[in-house]
Amino acid sequence: MTQTALVPQGPSIGVRIASASLVVLGGVAWLAVLAVFVFIVPKFIEISSRFEVQLPPMTQLVIAVAQAFGRFGVVLVALWLMMTAALATGAALAASRWTLALSILFAAASFIAVLVVLTLMMIGLFQPLGCLVEVLGGRR
């Protein structure tokens, strides 16, 4: 009768695939932020420039970030996608629980950051609508 040593094994393949998927989804979630910066904010700038309204500070911040992102966005997205790919590969090939935990932590941080950024952007973009309605209402 042979005895098998109780050697701790790494995470199962299912857990590794699930964590790699979470990392990839966390990275892809940033594409929603990119889409807002690239498509929605420039249109908002165009529309708001037609009216002579002082934009709230939050809106000015969103516009400034979108303009900075326009300058450096390609580099930031490339770095983010490389980090996502590296962590997803690390999660899929995870030999240790620490690598897996790091990948899951990255995915959770990505989702939380995306939610916070999108929430702040939506507040910044919808806040001036009240000002625009007042301006349009005063012109009647």
H or E segment and range at residue 135: helix 97-138
Place 47 in a pLDDT band, splitting at 50, 70 and 90.
Answer: confident
What's the predicted TM-score (pTM) here?
0.65
**What's the confidence (pLDDT) of residue 1?**
53
Identify the pLDDT of residue 78. Answer: 79
CA distance 106 to 25: 11
Q: Find all residues with CB under 8 Å of 132, minimum gap 6, and list them.
A: 48, 51, 53
Per the prediction, the chain carries an average pLDDT of 77
Q: For residue 72, what pLDDT is reported? A: 79
- pLDDT confidence tier of residue 94, bands split at 50, 70 and 90: low
Does 67 have pLDDT greater than 70? yes
pLDDT at residue 136 in the model: 72
Q: Which two tokens stand for residue 25?
A: 């989804």
Residue 9 has pLDDT above 70, yes or no: no
Q: Is a pLDDT exceeding 80 seen at residue 77?
A: no
